[in-house]
Amino acid sequence: MDTEPLILAFCCHYCAYAAADLAGSMRLEYPENVRVLRLPCTGKIEVNYILAAFERGVDGVIVAGCLEGGCHFIEGNLRARRRVERAKQLLEEIGLEPERLEMYNLSSAEGGRFAEIVTEMSGRLARLGPSPLRQDRIRAEQAIDQIARRAERTPAGETE
Amino acid sequence: MIVADRKSVSEIRDMIKDHDRVLLVGCGTCVTVCLAGGEREVGILGSALRMALKLIGRGNVVVDECTIERQCEDTFFDTLAPHVAEYDAICSFGCGAGVQALAERFPNMPVYPGLNTQFIGILESQGVWTEKCAGCGKCRLGEFVGICPITRCAKRLLNGPCGGSQDGKCEVRPDLECAWQLIYDRARSLGILNRLEEIAAPHDWSTGLDGGPRKVIREDQCIARLESEG
């Protein structure tokens, strides 16, 4: 279990989060090593959220927002894409593989696509191997749970 | 404002290679506005730096962050001063003035720059900053309808344009607007084209950096006794 990749998925409330829910309702199977963190919009993501996850030993990060042109807040997902690009550039400078981070776009009706994305990312991370920054998986899991609990206390559409 | 951009993670990592406890100090003024050295950017670089160090087997190095209101005034270091002794180096995310002000305030502490200070400029559009002022010490914007040929003409021509001005662009770079075209167009729209018929006098560079670092003194504001007063 300790060698399994640990993935943090920042999911938009209006699309990817609902798609993840739908994937569950549809009884679709996908790797259980993903932790879903709901954001009011992917436009809420900041480069430091992504780096904080990697610093705490996460193997990979998914940022999943609405289809381009379909953002509830008009251009949140487009901003997120640019921030993900910047974070990738920083990962390269740090010495971590930028492929550990990916942005995806999907609609709330695409439960199957969500399962596909997680499967794809999980396979990619298995090929890359565990993050050299991860000390032990349990500690990384705890850090993610902590981040997720904090996020859950913040209702969608509001910031802390 | 003073515009800067960050150095690469690897450059900063290599600069601080001899130290075990490093404090990253951000500045809450110009470099916060140009998204280079404010609280958020220092947080990002701190996180990146800790990871980069860990990956080269130096995970034991302590990298902490803080951001103060302003680095170009000594007074603002007062809140920082009690904590500085806990570190063996400082990496400043202020402009070049901030780096040097920190070095002056903490003479026993190595201070490194986290940013490359670029210029005095303005926000052109979200995420784009442009140089507008060379700080030459003798402002002649009044003569040139508010457009500075010293900063914005690649040849610093005071009596332009040159033959390299093509369709409003400079021959140096196709994306660079010809300052003299801008001056001409603005003078025409203001109805003062005749002003450009006068030959502009050579610039007095004695007020520029060539005479060494400059100083501005407001005697009525000085509390300490001036040297000239004996």
Write the CATH number for A16. 3.40.50
- What pLDDT was estimated at residue B230? 58
pLDDT band at B226 (very low <50, low <70, confident <90, very high): low
What are the backbone angles phi and psi of residue B2, rounded to the nearest 5°? Answer: -85, 130
Cis peptide before A40 (omega within 30 of 0): no
Query: How many domains is chain A partitioned into structurally?
Result: 1
Residue length of chain A = 160
State the pLDDT confidence band at A159, using cuts at 50, 70 and 90.
very low
Could you report the per-residue pLDDT of B8-21, keeping only the tens digit for each?
999 999 999 999 99
Q: What is the pLDDT of residue A158?
A: 47
User: If you average pLDDT over residues B30-49, what whole number do you get?
Assistant: 97
Smallest Cβ–Cβ distance between B40 and the set A48, A54, A96 belongs to: A48
Task: Using the Cα atoms of residue B133, residue B138, residue B140 and residue B146 in order, give the sign of their dihedral.
Answer: positive
Q: Which of residues 42-81 of B touch A (CB under 8 A)?
A: 43-44, 47-48, 50-52, 54-56
Classify residue A1: in a domain, yes or no.
no
Please count the residue pairs, one from chain A and one from chain B, whose beta carbons lie less than 8 angstroms apart. 39
Name which of A47, A96, A133 is nearest B44 (Cβ-Cβ): A47
CA distance B104 to chain A (A): 31
Q: What's the domain range around A74?
A: 7-152
| Lowest-confidence region among A143-147, B40-44, B202-206 | A143-147
**For position A138, what pLDDT does the model report?**
84
Determine the average pLDDT of the residues in A10-33: 95
Mean pLDDT across B183-209? 94
Instruction: Indicate if the pLDDT at residue B224 is higher than 80.
Output: no
Q: Is the pLDDT of residue A1 over 90?
A: no
pLDDT value at residue A135: 80
Nearest of B116, B142, B146, B120 to residue B131 by alpha carbon: B120
Tokens at B29, concatenated: 């003024």
Beta bridge partners, B22, equal B63, B89
The mean per-residue pLDDT over the stretch B18-31 comes to 97
Domain ranges of chain B: 2-119, 136-211
Instruction: Give the pLDDT confidence score for residue A140 in this predicted structure.
Output: 83
Q: What span, in angstroms and rounded, lies between the C-alpha atoms of A5 and A31?
A: 10
- Residues of chain A in Cβ contact (below 8 Å) with chain B: 46-48, 51-52, 54-55, 90, 93-96, 132-133
For residue B49, the distance in angstroms to the closest alpha carbon of chain A comes to 7
> pTM of the entire structure?
0.90
Cα–Cα distance measured from residue A59 to residue A128, given in angstroms and rounded to the nearest whole number:
9
In CATH, B2-119 is 3.90.550.10:
no
Strand order in the sheet with B89-93: B62-68, B21-27, B89-93, B111-113
Give the tens place of pLDDT for each residue, A87-118.
999 999 999 999 999 999 999 999 999 999 99
